[in-house]
Amino acid sequence: MSRYIMSRVLQAVLVLVGATFVIFVITFALPGDPVQALAGERAADPAFAEAIRARYHLDEPLLQQYVRFLAGALHGDLGQTYSGQDVAQMLGERIWVSAQLAAFALAFQIVIGVGAGVLSALRRNGVADTGVRIFTLAGLSIPFFVTAFVLQLVVGVKFGWLPVAGTEDGFLSYIMPGFVLGSLSTAYVARLTRGQLAESLREDYVRMATAKGLTRVRVVAHHALRNSLIPVVTFLGLEVGALLSGAVITESIFNIPGMGQAMARAVYLGERTTVVGVVTVFVFVYVVANLLVDLLYAVLDPRIRYA
Amino acid sequence: MSDTTRKGNTMATEHLLEVHDLQVEFGGEDGPVPVLRGVSWHVDRGETLAILGESGSGKSMTAQVIMGILEAPPARIGGGSVRWNGRDLLGLPEAARREVRGQGIGMVFQDSLSALNPVLRVGPQIGETLRTRLGLSRGEARDRTVELMRQVRIPDAEQRYRQYPHQFSGGMRQRAVIAMALALSPDVLIADEPTTALDATVQVQILRLLQTLQGESGMGLVLITHDFGAAASIADRVAVMYAGRVVETGMVRDIFRRPAHPYTKALLDAVPRADRRAGQLAALPGQPPVLGKETSGCPFRFRCPLAETVCEEREPVLSEHAQGRWSACHLGKDVIAGVLTAHS
């Protein structure tokens, strides 16, 4: 077991290094000169440009810059933005905003997604099942920025039930964006749960559980659902990483000061250090979530043992 | 005991478990397909009934109807009754039927690997109903479960309690499933092909175990099997099924010595025997009838060496050809007498 974890951690480190290198190269190859972008319309003053290049080591070869970045990242230093802000510090503040948003999205997926899936599987081909099917189809096929604008217009502007954007209203501010961010996967979770549970309900051990005289609730909750949820838990674990990157669009639409918004702005402004910093955090969360899901397998299913 | 079926309005004595004229059909695209076409049998306390038949004859389905675990739809119970201690189970509400499951009638599934929940420990699975149904405490249920595991001869029961199904061998798993079915001490145990997935030596052990357990508790035992040897070794009576019906029933020694239905005879001839010279085994020609294909007359006549005109005209009903010898064959008397080919 510990050997397995060791090798997985090693893999994770390799993935982290590889992913950051790729993003480093990509930002390097992006068109546009960041120094020129700082100067705006007019041509940059050569002396100023020189100073900036030297300060941010832009004059060094790519590989040297990358090694410099890695060395800094190991000490928690992700560099500075062109306006002199510390990237690690900025992301440290923003990550909690993004985490809250992701938590809301995840909560929607678990409560609504799993709930609808269970209901659907137990009332197969009934009214509830059909309803869930229609809603999940809508959830899967409507792009989530469309859902976002419709909700902002109807729930936010027309009825005024929830804030349209921003985070000034605390808890309430996160409901709508959280729902939008999680909507696609909520639909997927509902379908996955339905399919898995419907399959489990036909298993012999579930019929045996019924035949030995257990109540329907006990049969479903204790015997059928537990096995059905293994793939759902896997999906949700990986979803944590996807939720952060999905937040790039959602945070921009709802004007939420999280990492996604910082990323979107940085790409727009050609802020390489921020882009690389955010991606590093994304990759890190993704890799850790992956590892945890793999270890969770063994807890959920005793047949799986890691050697 | 020749009151195996009820005739007209005369009520026979009350049996422990009695299936009467049970009909089940499946909803197909071209209308309902009958799967059980009037199945009747019964079992009494301390008695072992073997239900014999090939795949698709409706043996397991009858068990599922009795337990109330038949998937309906697509299946539909068209008629008949299942009486347990005189109560008709089919008319009972779900809550009342649940009371009967486990405590009144227990069931052992065919494939022990799929009958045990792979993610739960074996012990708690066996003892689950002790807690939910009898309200025993965790410790009490544990002690009783270990006792049950010992009763079905699982060695090192204390350690085995904590293990998962995949850590058990096939034979041990089947013992665990038997223990699970016996947890609430049912009056009747239905064992659906309990030895099919096992090695020959283990098969014998499991059959002996069932026999011993029955002897200890005096429960009724229904053994569903396609194995004549298994039936012969522990059954008192046999019911042979073909095409969704019981075609012959009687005491095991009578049937094995002189079957009263050509189908039973053909099956017996196809069993390899150590006391005969090795050579070609007798095979039964043809295929079992296709379900739902409407045919008149006896469903076995296409494969029957004795088939006559009367067999095409109407389907025979289960009737007594000699003392205690019931079969659904127009020529039952001839079969018992050993006539081997058609008259005409």
Strand bridging mode B237-242 / B48-52: parallel
Lowest mean pLDDT among A13-22, A102-111, A266-275, B251-260: A266-275
DSSP B284: -
Contact flag B177-A215 (C-beta cutoff 8 Å)? no
For residue B120, the chain A residues in CB contact (below 8 A) are: 222-223, 226
Helix, strand or coil, per DSSP, at residue B76: strand
> For residues A228 and A37, which has the higher predicted lDDT (pLDDT)?
A228
pLDDT > 60? residue B12: no
Unique residue bearing structure tokens 């899936």: A117
Give pLDDT, residue B13: 66
**Chain A residues contacting B, CB < 8 Å?**
202-205, 207-216, 218, 222-223, 226-227, 300-303
Q: Evaluate the omega torsion of the peptide bond into residue B73 and state whether it is cis, within 30 degrees of 0.
A: yes
Closest-CA residue to A98 (of A257, A307, A271):
A257
**Angle (nearest 5°) at CA B90 between B87 and B95:** 85
Cis peptide before B305 (omega within 30 of 0): no
pLDDT in tens, B255-307: 888 888 888 888 888 777 666 666 666 777 777 777 666 667 888 888 888 77
Q: What is the pLDDT of residue A193?
A: 93
From residue B220, alpha-carbon distances to B15, B18, B35, B190, B236 in Å are 10, 11, 26, 8, 11
Report whether B322 contacts B260 (CB < 8 A).
Answer: yes
Residue in B98, B109, B132 nearest the CB of A208: B109
Closest residue in A to B102 (Cα–Cα): A212
DSSP B71: -
In degrees, rounded to 5, the angle at the alpha carbon of residue A241 between the alpha carbons of residues A237 and A244 is: 135
Q: Which residues of B touch A202 (CB under 8 A)?
A: 71
Show residues of chain B in contact with A221, CB under 8 Å: none
Buried b (16+ CB within 10 A) or exposed e, B223-242: bbbbbbebbbbbbbbbbbbb
The pLDDT of A250-263, averaged and rounded, is 88
The pLDDT assigned to B4 comes to 43
Instruction: Compare all CA atoms of chain A with the CA of B109 and give the residue at the minimum distance.
Output: A208
How does pLDDT run across B222-247, given as a tens digit for each residue?
999 888 888 888 889 999 998 888 88
The pLDDT of residue B323 is above 60: yes
Single-letter code of the amino acid located at A253: I
Query: With contact defined as beta carbons under 8 Å apart, do B46 and B218 qualify?
Result: yes
- What is the rounded average pLDDT of the residues A31-59? 72
Neighbouring C-beta atoms of residue A272, cutoff 10 Å: 24
Contact present, B22 and B83 (Cβ < 8 Å):
no
pLDDT at position A39 is 66
Please tell me the distance from the alpha carbon of residue A196 to that of residue A202, in angstroms, as a whole number: 10
What pLDDT is stored for residue B329 in this prediction? 83
Q: Which of B259, B270, B274, B339 is nearest to B307 (CA)?
A: B339
Q: How far apart are CA B292 and CA A281, in angstroms?
A: 64
Confidence of residue A190 (pLDDT cuts 50, 70, 90): very high
Between CA A212 and CA A205 the distance in angstroms is 10
Contacts of A197 (CB under 8 A, 6+ apart): A117, A118, A121, A122, A220, A224, A225, A228
**CB distance A9 to A291 below 8 Å:** yes
Q: How much of chain B exceeds pLDDT 70, in percent?
A: 90
A124, A251 Cβ separation under 8 angstroms: no
Helices A225-253 and A259-269 cross at an angle (nearest 10°) of 40
Q: Give the Å distances, CA to CA, from B165 to A200, B78, B121, B187.
A: 17, 38, 7, 27
Pick from B69, B128, B181: CB nearest A207: B69
Residues B44-90 have pLDDT tens digits of 998 999 998 887 788 888 999 999 888 777 888 888 889 998 888 88
Look-up: residue for tokens 């230093």? Answer: A77
**Is residue B340 within 8 Å of residue B266, measured between CB atoms?**
no
| Phi–psi pair at B318, nearest 5 degrees | -65, 115
What is the ipTM metric for this complex? Answer: 0.82
Residue A171 has pLDDT above 70, yes or no: yes
Q: What is the CA radius of gyration of chain B?
A: 21
CB neighbourhood size of B291 (10 A): 16
Q: What is the pLDDT of residues B121-175, one digit of tens each?
A: 999 999 898 888 888 888 998 999 998 998 888 989 889 999 999 999 888 898 8
Q: Specify the pLDDT at position B8.
A: 40
Mean pLDDT across chain A: 84
Q: Where are the alpha helices (DSSP H) in B78-186?
A: 94-103, 112-115, 122-132, 138-151, 157-160, 170-182
pLDDT for position A105: 92
Token pair in block for residue B206? 């499991």
- Asked whether the predicted pLDDT for residue A55 surpasses 90, the reply is no
Evaluate if residue B343 carries a pLDDT over 70: no
Most confident stretch, A182-196, A265-279, B313-327? A182-196
Which token pair is A42?
């007019």
Q: Which residue of B has its CA nearest to A298?
A: B119
Please state, in angstroms and rounded to a whole number, the distance separating the CA atoms of residues B113 and B122.
Answer: 11
Provide, as residue numbers in chain B, all residues whose Cβ is less than 8 Å from the Cβ of A218: 132
Integer Cα distance of B249 and B239 in angstroms: 4
pLDDT of residue B112: 81
The answer to whether residue B3 scores a pLDDT higher than 60 is no
pLDDT at B308: 79
pLDDT at position B342: 64
Candidate from A128-142, B134-148, B193-207, B277-291 with smallest mean pLDDT? B277-291
Could you write out the DSSP letters of every residue in B156-193?
Answer: THHHHTTS-GGGS-HHHHHHHHHHHHHTT--SEEEEES
User: What residues does B248 pair with on adjacent strands?
Assistant: B240, B327
B337 touches A: beta carbon within 8 Å: no
Strand pairing partners for B19? B41, B82
* pLDDT on residue B193: 86
Residue B261 near residue B328 (C-beta atoms within 8 A):
yes
